[in-house]
């Protein structure tokens, strides 16, 4: 009988005669889980979104209020996700919750929007911002980089993420912890720089308060941009099967990481406004670099390098999470079966990672940072709204639903009302094309669902599956109990 091999992570690998036992391993502890949340959330958002938040809010006072308010709202939402995460220990997050609560079609639309639109768009956005900050590093010593080279840098960043996630879960986790520490240090530097300025009596634009506040519904778009900066807390639920002691570690990691993020974000924005004028703030997407030029002078190059670490860490965690959503949906029969196949050595869903990477690369073609931010926010609100509804249904109808703790039932109800308001307003007041694209994409999923429901296979699917099995050394996982 063939002896089980040991993979590079020290985990038990599977011999050829044991492929039916392939499954995800629990290899992530509390620190790793919290690092994934902080690492994904603190990415490009805090270095890009501040511009749009100020544009649509109009005033410094309202801008800071939105940062605090959205942070608290995300904390409340994350408590609902923590409740669900302590009750459901399978990977898939929002997909699993909505499928168990609402059935096949809503669940399919979740994975359709999440795996094929939201996460690839978010990763593409981060790659574009990554390229912009590489440009800042290079231009500090020579000339600016042409747009074509920026696109090549974005492509290399996306491919690097894919390769890293295909190699090893432990490598991915260690990278996440390292880059999480790096980005928090970078933001602490920005925050401390602002505090020093305030202590010196330099309040900058903070003294303008609520001057020039926008009083129409464009403020909702400021919330979209701010929400993008906070987005990512739900990723921990996507990897629930790989977290040790999930009933304890998922709620703890979500609450602790969200509180850290709120404090860091508010300090960063106070620092920005204590140093920069509104005109400087609105002049570029690379806000952190502009801040560094004014505070650090010739040492400002430290800032874009730190931001690059931040963006890479965020994209790393996001890439890790989305492959697990596709794995879960495939295992449930709502994506092609090959999406759930695991590499027989690393026990990683490598095909899902490769497929999601290809979608992100395609999204580089119409690259526009502002539109991508709005698109990601729109899809996120829909998914979160569905998750809140699933939580309510579990509480009211499922007797065996037994989370470690329960938030008051009124909490998800209020969250749904707020989210519906945020979804409707952009269509009523100056609708933007990206929102229409998002809505059309979801409607397209409804049209395609019958193909999934009746399990209609495209001609040649079997041969394609066999080809990729041999190419990527992948095999079907164990059946979900």
Which tens digits make up the pLDDT trace of 18-71? 444 566 677 778 888 887 788 778 767 787 788 889 999 999 999 999 999 999
Structure tokens at 234: 């739900």
CA–CA distances in Å: residue 217 to residues 68, 224, 430 = 19, 12, 9
Rg value, the chain, Cα: 22
Q: Scan for tokens 């009750």, then name that residue.
A: 87
The region that residue 461 occupies, defined by phi over 0 for left and psi between -120 and 50 for alpha, beta otherwise, is alpha
**Measured distance between the N- and C-terminal CA atoms of the chain, rounded to whole angstroms:** 26
Residues whose CB is less than 8 angstroms from the CB of residue 117 and which lie 6 or more positions away in sequence, other chains included: 375, 379, 438, 441
Segment 322-348 shows an average pLDDT of: 86
Confidence of residue 268 (pLDDT cuts 50, 70, 90): confident
Identify the band that residue 481 occupies on the pLDDT scale cut at 50, 70 and 90.
low
Instruction: Return the DSSP state at 473.
Output: T
- Between 16-30, 126-140, 335-349, 414-428, the lowest mean confidence (pLDDT) is in 16-30
Q: Which two tokens stand for residue 465?
A: 């599956």
Residues 6+ apart with CB under 8 A from 374: 221, 224, 225, 426, 432, 434, 435
Q: Which helix (H) or strand (E) holds 301?
A: none
Long-range contacts of the stretch 88-91 (C-beta < 8 A, 24+):
88/237, 88/240, 89/240, 89/241, 89/246, 89/247, 90/240, 90/241, 90/328, 90/480, 91/24, 91/238, 91/239, 91/240, 91/241, 91/242, 91/324, 91/325, 91/327, 91/328
pLDDT at residue number 222: 93
pLDDT digits over 148-172, tens only? 899 999 999 999 999 988 987 777 7
Environment class of 148 (CB within 10 Å of its CB; exposed 0-12, middle 13-18, buried 19+)? exposed
Strands, DSSP E only, in 341-478?
Answer: 342-343, 474-475
Residues near 232 by Cβ (< 8 Å), separated by ≥ 6? 37, 40, 41, 43, 314, 317, 318
Residue 136 falls in which region: left (phi positive, over 0), alpha (psi -120 to 50) or beta: alpha
What average pLDDT does this structure show over 330-348?
Answer: 88
Q: What is the pLDDT of residues 111-138, one digit of tens each?
A: 899 888 988 988 998 899 899 888 878 8
Q: How many CB atoms lie within 10 A of CB 431?
A: 12
Calpha distance 213→202 (Å, rounded): 22
Specify the CATH superfamily of domain 28-475. Amino acid/polyamine transporter I (1.20.1740.10)
User: 3-state SS of 205-266?
Assistant: HHHHCCCCCCCCCCHHHHHHHHHHHHCCCCHHHHCHHHECCHHHHHHHHHHHHHHHHHHHHH
Q: What is the DSSP letter of 337?
A: G
DSSP class of residue 338?
G
DSSP-assigned letter for residue 404:
S
CA 358/CA 352 separation, integer angstroms: 10
Query: What are 243's strand-pairing partners?
Result: 28
Compute the distance between CA of residue 50 and CA of residue 40 in angstroms, rounded to an integer.
Answer: 17
Looking up tokens 């296979």 gives 457
Report pLDDT digits (tens) over 210-232: 998 988 888 999 999 999 889 87
Please give the structure tokens belonging to residue 189: 């530097």
């Amino acid at each position: 009988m063939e002896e089980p091999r040991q993979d590079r992570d020290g985990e038990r690998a599977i011999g050829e005669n044991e492929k039916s036992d392939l499954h995800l391993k629990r290899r992530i502890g509390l620190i790793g889980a919290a690092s994934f949340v902080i690492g994904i959330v603190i990415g490009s958002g805090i270095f890009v979104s501040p511009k749009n938040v100020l544009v649509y809010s109009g005033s410094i006072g309202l801008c800071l209020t939105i940062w605090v308010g959205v942070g608290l709202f995300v904390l409340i939402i994350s408590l609902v996700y923590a409740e669900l995460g302590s009750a459901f220990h399978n990977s898939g997050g929002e997909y699993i919750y909505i499928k168990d609560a609402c059935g096949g079609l809503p669940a399919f639309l979740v994975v359709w929007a999440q795996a094929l639109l939201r996460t690839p768009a978010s990763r593409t956005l981060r790659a574009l911002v990554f390229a912009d900050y590489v440009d800042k590093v290079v231009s500090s010593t020579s000339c600016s980089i042409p747009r074509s080279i920026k696109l090549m840098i974005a492509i290399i960043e996306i491919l690097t993420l894919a390769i890293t996630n295909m190699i090893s879960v432990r490598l991915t986790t260690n990278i996440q912890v390292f880059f999480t520490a790096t980005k928090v240090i970078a933001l602490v530097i920005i925050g401390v720089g602002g505090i020093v300025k305030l202590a010196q009596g330099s309040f900058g634009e903070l003294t303008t308060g609520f001057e020039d506040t926008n009083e129409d519904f464009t403020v909702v778009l400021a919330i979209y941009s701010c929400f993008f900066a906070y987005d990512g807390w739900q990723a921990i639920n996507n990897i629930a099967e790989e977290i040790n002691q999930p009933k304890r570690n998922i709620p703890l990691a979500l609450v602790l990481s969200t509180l850290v993020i709120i404090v860091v974000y508010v300090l960063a924005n106070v620092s920005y406004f204590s140093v920069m004028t509104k005109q400087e703030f609105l002049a570029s997407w690379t806000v952190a670099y502009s801040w560094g030029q004014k505070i650090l002078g010739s040492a400002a190059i430290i800032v874009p390098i730190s931001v690059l670490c931040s963006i890479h860490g965020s994209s790393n965690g996001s890439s890790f999470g989305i492959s697990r959503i596709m794995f879960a949906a495939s295992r449930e029969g709502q994506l092609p079966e090959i999406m759930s196949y695991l590499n027989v050595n690393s026990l990683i869903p490598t095909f899902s990672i490769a497929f999601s990477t290809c979608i992100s690369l395609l999204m580089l073609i119409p690259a526009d940072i502002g539109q991508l931010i709005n698109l990601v926010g729109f899809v996120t609100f829909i998914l979160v709204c569905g998750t809140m509804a699933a939580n309510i249904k579990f509480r009211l109808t499922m007797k065996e639903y037994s989370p470690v703790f329960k938030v008051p039932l009124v909490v998800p109800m209020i969250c749904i009302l707020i989210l519906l308001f945020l979804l409707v307003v952009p269509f009523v007041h100056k609708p933007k094309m990206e929102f229409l694209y998002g809505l059309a994409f979801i409607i397209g999923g409804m049209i395609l669902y019958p193909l999934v429901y009746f399990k209609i296979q495209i001609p040649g699917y079997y041969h394609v599956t066999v080809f990729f099995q041999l190419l990527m050394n992948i095999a079907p996982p164990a059946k979900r109990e």
